[in-house]
Structure 1
C-alpha cells in the first residue's frame, strides 16, 4: 500500500517526504528482514504514547482505531512539530479498534 500511495503523492507533489513506521526489530520494509516484536509495546509500568493517542481518538474524535493507526497518529504529530515552513502532514488509518473490543483496552475511552 505504501508504495502506491507514495508514488501517487510524489507524481503530484515531487517534494513529498514519505515516512514508514515499522518495529526496529522487524524492519521488513526498510531492510527486508523479519524479527519478533510486540507492536502493542505495553509492559510493566509502561504506557506507550500511541495508547494515549488511540484512546484520545476514541474518546474525543469518535474514531475506534487499532494500534498501528495510533502509532501513525503519534508519528504524524511528531512530524508536524518539526520546524519548517509550509508543511502538510497526512497519515493513514490502517486498522480499526474492533479487534480490541473484547478486552479492556478501551474501557476508559
Structure 2
C-alpha cells in the first residue's frame, strides 16, 4: 500500500471512530433519560442520531469496498509472484541443463583434442 493510501484509510478510520463516539454519547444520553423516566422509549426519534448512523454505514461501506479492492490487488500480486517464481525455476532449470550440455561438449572436445595430439 502506498503512503497516501494509508493516510486516507487512517483518516477514514479516525472519522469513523469520531462518528461512533458521537453515536455513543447520544445513546448514553437517551438511555439516562429513559432510565429516569423523562422520555418514553416509543417517543425517541432523533434525526441527528439517524444522520450519524447513516454516516457510519457510509464509512463502513467505503472502507470495506476499499479493502476488497486491496485484497483483489493483493491476490493479483501474489499470483504474479507465483508466476515469476515458476518462471524463475524454469529459467534456472534451463540454464542448468544448458550448462551441463556445454560442460559435456567442452569436455568432449578436450578429450578429442588430447586424442588427436597423442
Same fold (TM over 0.5): no
TM-score norm. by structure 2 comes to 0.19
User: Which structure has the greater CA radius of gyration?
Assistant: 2
Which is helix-richer, 1 or 2?
2
Query: Which of structures 1 and 2 has the larger relative contact order (alpha carbons within 8 angstroms, sep 6+)?
Result: 2
